[in-house]
Amino acid sequence: MPLSKLERYLTQRRIQTSLPVRLYALVDGLLYGDALGASALERGCTAIALFDDTPDASLADAGPWLIDVEGSAMATRCALLELAAGASGVSWLTTAYQFQSLARELRERLDVLMPDGGTALLRFYDARLVSDITRVLSSSQRAAFFVPTFDWLVQINGELVRVHPDD
């Protein structure tokens, strides 16, 4: 099953850069299961639960998942496309980072320091919230947050929108 708009975007991106361009999906595990009536994602060489090895490990199945799209089984790709066609959406990341390295980078962004000194979970893995999160970040915060990606795209209801870099 072709990735249509996304595949065309990825092809164009690969032409524009001399670095390897990898495609990953970032999804909320709970929304993935709810939207598709699917069983939980399975850890493996193409799927990493970002809450693993964190204090929130007990919630890992329902938390953020990073998926290597091109290495995934066709069933996973189809599930991602179905999720992207619906209201829950998918974040698509293009990067030169290796899978494990990108997962480490994203884990480091899960918690944010609040003005009162406490920490809060930053739900950047929920495609419905990424644009709103981006709008409240300063330009230096955006640069630091998105540094591991070439592009951060969000696809909700089939509409593909580039969140980073912003034009």
Residue 28: what residue type?
A: D
pTM as predicted: 0.91
Query: Residues 61, 49: contact at Cβ < 8 Å?
Result: yes
Residue 131 maps to a domain: yes
Residue 60 maps to a domain: yes
How far is residue 157's CA from residue 133's CA, in Å, rounded to a whole number? Answer: 19
Query: Residues 92, 23: contact at Cβ < 8 Å?
Result: yes
Per-residue confidence in pLDDT tens, the chain, 167 aa: 445 888 888 888 899 988 899 999 999 998 887 766 666 688 999 999 999 999 999 999 889 999 999 999 888 888 899 999 999 999 999 999 999 999 999 999 999 988 899 999 999 999 999 999 999 999 999 999 999 999 999 999 999 999 998 75
Supply the range of the domain harboring residue 85: 4-160
Lookup: tokens for 12: 């164009």
Residue 167 maps to a domain: no
Q: Residue 66: which of 119, 31, 104 has the closest Cα?
A: 104
Residue 166 maps to a domain: no
